Chains A and B, each alone.
Chain A
């Protein structure tokens, strides 16, 4: 198939439909509105159902119902709306339901702004709602990668019965890039024998539930979920290593910021400084081993995490490097985007000190 020019939000919606998503429940919020808009037109054409809910709270609970009924289902929102969905996301994780949630992140806290940001990293990767749980979090750096990851996200969700989040930012949502909708690699997925479809001849009734009133049973349920998370950590880590060989400084960045960092790396190279990048594509599970290994590379003097936040992923980088090398942070936030020049200056400052 030839490449076509697509806007990020619309490409994400189309990729979901191609991945077999037939149900979408959402609520308007900038900068993700093109996702529900696209779904409202396209889903009925493929025999699916788009519904604009009365709130983000209702939308995520419609997702809960549809996922529990056995459907491939998605919702999307942006930061303040994702906060509202956290109750439902916790229930979805607790009831072990598969679904895909897209967060096109904007500046915060509160109403914040509508420009791109990465300040929802903690919320996305550390649970977000109440209780012990994780989402699988996928962070594309281009619209092509967003398309590929959306298709993968539904399979991961179904394989592990766990919600998956696509964490984009306003840039991923709003910019246009050439995209190819390739063949989807299909996973062998278990049948949804647990879904509440109505008995239809089945003997035992199915129950979708996250309530375990006996603490011993509730603990067991948590342990079961975490056995699943251990499997996910073993099987699903995705990461890009760029220019690491001979690097004096290793950047950590994800999503669109990683592309800006690549430009900074090229600029540094012109000035005779070798720099590399570790780009987590799955933010959870986090590619800890890649950072741990890079910390042992003899030429590496320091790590520099660059984010559109006040410093969130940097904590996971520190945990992964385990004090073997210094970890620095540079961030812009509130919708401000770091420039390659700022990043180059920061790297030089650090290396000046480290030399």
Chain B
């Protein structure tokens, strides 16, 4: 019988702890498949964040390090400088990357660290129970913004891809979404390209992936996908911000 589908070798067999309907599982698979298809699993080192993806080190089948909250780009810098031929990536959420870890991500991008960052933006703190994130939309309710985010009080949600795209050595920046199949296919393409950029030594690469959090958004998985499409994408446009000539 012909095998029509196989699970990627980039993931372990460990059952994940993610909530039902959470899109972290899809994003893990896209990263792992990309590493496998590019032949990078044998020299990949990933860095897990603090947040929902904290246990990512158990799920990716390559070598992994677990970083302190927000520090993954600094940890990845240390790894990449020791093993310049390795495929080094960070997998970070929006609390980790866009709040406590802004200095680390901005300066890794500024130095043009040859690493790939997968930035999972679900507009909320998931692991700690639904607090407001820097990416939480105006009016969106969170446990620390019970009346919804008020822009006068908490400012406007931060657009990380747009910010990093102003940095010369951040050579590949793309925002994608995983709320439906066409977008998942595009997301995979972007992730693969980001790793290609790294392996060609062109500079820093990041893919921001818009993701859902049905549990803390208080929605069913299907409602959450719809909410992402209707609310997040208008504020966080899905687009490529930068691609180096070499991989166009």
Contact = CB atoms under 8 A, between A and B. Distances in A.
Interface stretch (A105-113, A147-155, A177-185, A192-200): A192-200
A68 B65 contact: yes
Nearest to A62: B78
A88 interface: yes
Say what secondary structure dominates the interface of chain B: helix
Nearest to B45: A196
Contacts of B42: 198-201
A232 interface: no
Contacts of B60: 205
Best-surrounded residue of A58, A70, A207 (most CB of chain B within 10 A): A58
Best-surrounded residue of A25, A53, A201, A210 (most CB of chain B within 10 A): A53
A87 B65 contact: no
Contact of A73 (B58, B76, B78): B78
A273 interface: no
Interface in A35-87: 49, 51, 53-55, 57-59, 61-71, 73, 87
Given A25-B78, A207-B57, A88 B68 contact: yes
B68 A199 contact: no
A53 B111 CA distance: 10
Interface string B148-191: 00000000000000000000000000000000000000000000
A69 B103 contact: no
Interface stretch (B79-87, B129-137, B222-230): B79-87
A63 B78 contact: yes
B77 interface: yes
Contacts of B67: 61, 64-65, 91
Best-surrounded residue of B68, B103, B104 (most CB of chain A within 10 A): B68
B210 interface: no
A73 B83 CA distance: 13
B78 A65 contact: yes
Interface in B67-109: 67-68, 71, 74-83, 86-87, 103-104, 106-107
Interface string B19-57: 000000000000000000000011111010000001101
Contacts of A209: 57, 64-66
Contacts, number: 134
Query: What bracket does the count of chain A residues touching chain B fall in?
Result: 35 or more
A23 B79 CA distance: 11
B103 A196 contact: no
B118 interface: no
B66 A61 contact: no
B62 interface: yes
Interface in A300-330: none
A347 B152 CA distance: 64
A211 interface: yes
Contact of A88 (B41, B65, B71, B107): B71
Nearest to B68: A91
B61 interface: yes
A206 interface: yes
Interface of A: 23, 25, 49, 51, 53-55, 57-59, 61-71, 73, 87-88, 91, 95, 196-201, 205-211
Interface of B: 12, 41-45, 47, 54-55, 57-58, 60-68, 71, 74-83, 86-87, 103-104, 106-107, 111
